[in-house]
Chains A and B, each alone.
Chain A
């Protein structure tokens, strides 16, 4: 489990970083999205991987880390997903505006 997920994180990161260095704005956006998957999974992994652990409490009861999943990384990632969406949207619009404004989709606004 851990090995597969860490390999996945590695591949996502590598693809993301590669795209981050590319000269076209669209590549950078895709790269950032891939990177954010990697980072989200990484943070999520901080709580350790648990299959079939209950994420919810019994009404009236209290939970513990032995029986339940770790809620903090999940809460962090939930926030990160939403912020990541906002970031993608903003960059996309900046990209479009820059393409219309400069006539090129190079990240520097000129070839």
Chain B
């Protein structure tokens, strides 16, 4: 059940994103259904939870590291889960009417459900690491939701700020939780919760505490990290109501409460949490008074109330913890309804500025009444739920918990902050609903649709019944939640409204009277003042944050880039090679590397002669590559051929075959490319060649090159002269036939033992081919190479001179005899390819070689007959071949799942199976067929895409010429 509860919102989120963007209603129904389902699921679990049981759901993930997917639900988690789902449901109903049809509504609901899932994950996690994962998920989804109107700069900025702050906090919390797990020896929440003494006495306790608190305080927008919350108000109002009052910001408080039994009670806890909470409580309330934006006021009030809960948790007494849990619920109810009311006003009037709004009571009496009741709850007026938890707070504030100045201050600060709360609540109501008729509003205000108001009605009703008959309504649920956190330490507490004439009541009266008085004094000023509180206006956390961000990510980064970076490739290459050389040299020299003694005896003169040619080719290619590209290509081919001969010589026929074939294809490819690469003509007067610095640069590069070459020579010689150590090669040699069913060990390794690598490799080949194809689709050749090549021009000129010849005849007749032979070679090459393919498992060959051989067959046809000729006669669909190849290879791998074996298990080795026993190698050869098809497709695709340019380019030229002519004529 727990798993369903967490997964349902995510499933709903995936489903919602599939709904077309203009279909708002189905998305709302879907989200509402999911929220209702989750709420019902949670409600159904209540009897079990109420009996004191803890539900658990375990999936082993990496049990060796203590990482398990554990979900756990106790009374407290249940309370939060119901809060998340219930308010989620109400907000969905509200959002259905709030969201405008022009917004991509399904995306909103999708993100909304994802958030609900992440939040449920946070509260239900039974493993610290899992908790951290869901925690980060809430940050990310919150980022996306705040930035939902991403065309709005404020929204983007607010989203980024929220993510930066909560993300940083989340990261430190993650470290803290890992340390906590390290101290306890387990990440399991149950184990952690039962080892409080161990944690508090550990030397790492303070570090853990600081790190976790950083995470919790940033998330709950506690001073000095509070400033992201007002900026997050750029989000759509349903998001503010849900995330930034009822759920997301409560995650920090949730974590504090969750870990309260193991972390609280020490001086460090008291000071950090208490100081943060008290300052947030006071400053938040103070700032809220001076906001002109309705949502801004509510945001600061939220900050202040979160501060109140934090203060309660800091006190370390069980009664205070009860009050904290109680206030968490109460705040969620009244604040969510207030946000929704603010959203309605914004929606109906078009502004949230309290200086422009007034007298709305006449236009929307119902909404006004509801907002007034909710504000009264926020202010702590008796007979409402806010009053109850505030009384409990006052009672706790008076109690002495620790003998220090902070504890002495608490009651005074509490009263003052409550006074402020009364003032801003009054201000909210008064300036919006009372006063003269509103004028010049963007829209004419009127009551919203009934169902848009219904969620507020429900929440306000909850405020009332909880406020009037607490012990009948919220009592049992609260008790279950409290019991699960405090366990045996659960104190006796009373939810009654009337506790007699006592000090807390007196404080409430002071706060109420003082707040009203303060409002009367400040009314005039507030009606016209600018945004933000006096004195603090300039000292904004946001500015500091931005300055830090600019310095870190822009100024410093820029200056480092200016000093240490370069956009030029050559210095980068030099650094790269230099680092590699240095790393190699240092390692070898410090590890006692001894070059092997040179033995001249065993040199085979023929082999040496071949390589002499090879080396000359290599150096020649290096020398000619700048001005004589064709020569360099020929020389490169020479070096390749010598490499190929080496493979034959040294008993590696597979490599020789593949190398030879690849050599051919590469040469053809580069030849095709050379057509589009304008010649470089050597200019002896080019001053660049002669300068001193150029010479020095070349000398330095030469030194690098020689050093690298010499190093490689020494290393490879030493390595090759050593005895062969025992490697896993023997494993493959021993099992290639008995388990892989083939005598060509190299091929068996490729298609069987390491089949997964090969699958990855052909995927890379596929991606490269597609990239080449895509790049060439919009290819613009160099302007110098656009003309018809010189040879063609000469041939065409020859045709034009002779009256009995048509233009193009020479080109058609060119290489007539070889082209006939090439055409006839096609079936022969096809046969060779099939031969290579089928012998692959037992003899040199295989899918790679066969694929490339076949593609050579195709390219020969292109060379012999020309592009048009071939494509009139043959159907060539390289993309399709690639797709088929990839599908065959993957399906072969997946096929082994049907038999219960791991991915890509070859079936040839299970010869005892009746059917497969008759045809061993069955799946390996299928896999190789996939490789063949893909290699063929990819190679042909690349070659043809390049070859097609010569067909395309004249056409483009033609069009351009026609356009130019048209322009001239007009």
Contacts and interface: CB of A to CB of B under 8 A. Distances in A.
Given A69-B652, A93-B772, A31 B750 contact: no
B655 A26 contact: no
Contacts of A15: 618-619, 621-622, 705, 709
B612 to A, nearest CB: 9
Contact of B673 (A9, A13, A84, A96): A96
A63 B734 contact: yes
A37 B746 contact: no
Nearest to A79: B761
B233 to A, nearest CB: 46
B676 A34 contact: no
Given A70-B727, A89-B669, A65 B708 contact: no
Nearest to B766: A86
B761 A83 contact: yes
Interface string A32-46: 011001101110111
Contacts of A97: 775-776, 779-780
Interface stretch (B183-191, B711-719, B811-819): B711-719
Interface in B494-511: none
19 contacts: A1-B602, A5-B646, A11-B615, A15-B621, A21-B577, A22-B625, A27-B625, A30-B621, A34-B622, A48-B720, A49-B650, A55-B653, A63-B733, A64-B734, A74-B654, A82-B662, A82-B848, A93-B946, A100-B780
A55 B705 contact: no
Contact of A75 (B598, B710, B749): B749
B60 interface: no
Contacts of B709: 10-15, 17
B782 A99 contact: yes
B647 interface: yes
A66 B673 CA distance: 46
Given A56-B842, A88-B666, A83 B734 contact: no
A30 B724 contact: no
A4 B650 contact: no
Given A5-B716, A9-B712, A10-B713, A21 B643 contact: no
Contact of B733 (A16, A51, A68): A68
Given A6-B716, A10-B710, A72-B727, A94 B702 contact: no
Contact of A92 (B607, B662, B669, B843): B669
Q: Which of A49, A72, A74 has the most CB of B within 10 A?
A: A74
B733 A62 contact: yes
B234 interface: no
Interface in B454-482: none
Interface in B591-640: 598-600, 602-604, 607-608, 611, 614-615, 618-619, 621-622, 625-626, 629, 632-633, 636, 639-640
A11 B654 contact: no
B568 interface: yes
B737 A50 contact: no
B546 interface: no
Contact of A13 (B614, B625, B708, B721): B708
Contacts of B782: 96, 99-100, 103
B737 A60 contact: yes
A18 B626 CA distance: 12
A71 B749 contact: yes
B569 interface: yes
Nearest to A110: B568
B651 A34 contact: no
A90 B619 contact: no
Contacts of B666: 33, 85, 88-89
B475 to A, nearest CB: 70
Interface of B: 567-570, 573-574, 577, 598-600, 602-604, 607-608, 611, 614-615, 618-619, 621-622, 625-626, 629, 632-633, 636, 639-640, 642-643, 646-647, 649-655, 658-659, 662, 665-666, 669-670, 673, 676-678, 680, 701-702, 704-706, 708-710, 712-714, 716-717, 719-721, 724, 727-730, 732-738, 743-746, 749-750, 754, 757-758, 761, 764-765, 768-769, 771-772, 775-776, 779-783, 842-844, 848, 935, 938, 942, 946
B718 to A, nearest CB: 8
Given A13-B705, A14-B705, A105-B680, 6 more contacts: A1-B607, A3-B600, A56-B744, A64-B730, A71-B749, A100-B779
B288 to A, nearest CB: 56
Interface residues of A, number: 91
Contacts of A14: 705-706, 708-710
Given A4-B603, A41-B646, A79-B750, A85 B712 contact: no
A7 B615 contact: yes
A90 B705 CA distance: 25
Contacts of B757: 79
B669 A88 contact: yes
Nearest to A46: B719
Nearest to A84: B662
Contacts of B577: 17, 20-21
A57 B743 CA distance: 5
A54 B569 CA distance: 45
A62 B737 contact: yes
A22 B704 contact: no
Contacts of B781: 96, 99-100
Contact of A78 (B567, B573, B714, B848): B848
B692 to A, nearest CB: 17
Given A26-B625, A55-B653, A108-B568, A9 B716 contact: yes
Nearest to A62: B734
A13 B713 CA distance: 9
B746 A44 contact: no
Contacts of B713: 6-7, 9-10, 13
A53 B570 CA distance: 44
A62 B614 CA distance: 36
Contacts of A100: 676, 779-783
A86 B728 CA distance: 29
B780 A92 contact: no
A53 B651 contact: yes
Contacts of B783: 100, 103
Contact of B570 (A23, A45, A96): A23
A7 B463 CA distance: 87
A67 to B, nearest CB: 9
B519 to A, nearest CB: 67
A58 B743 contact: yes
A55 B673 CA distance: 37
Nearest to B740: A57
A61 B704 contact: no
A77 B659 CA distance: 10
A61 B489 CA distance: 74
A37 B705 contact: no
A41 to B, nearest CB: 6
Contacts of B738: 62
B147 to A, nearest CB: 34
A40 B946 CA distance: 27
Given A71-B749, A99-B676, A51 B643 contact: no
Contacts of B721: 2
Contacts of A96: 673, 676-677, 779, 781-782
A39 B729 CA distance: 20
Contact of A34 (B621, B717, B844): B621
Contacts of B670: 29, 88, 92
Nearest to B675: A96
A102 B769 CA distance: 23
B724 A34 contact: no
B459 to A, nearest CB: 60
B284 to A, nearest CB: 54
Contacts of B776: 93, 97
A74 B745 CA distance: 10
A105 B188 CA distance: 61
A75 B750 contact: yes
Contact of A38 (B712, B714, B724): B712
Contacts of A10: 709-710, 712-713, 716
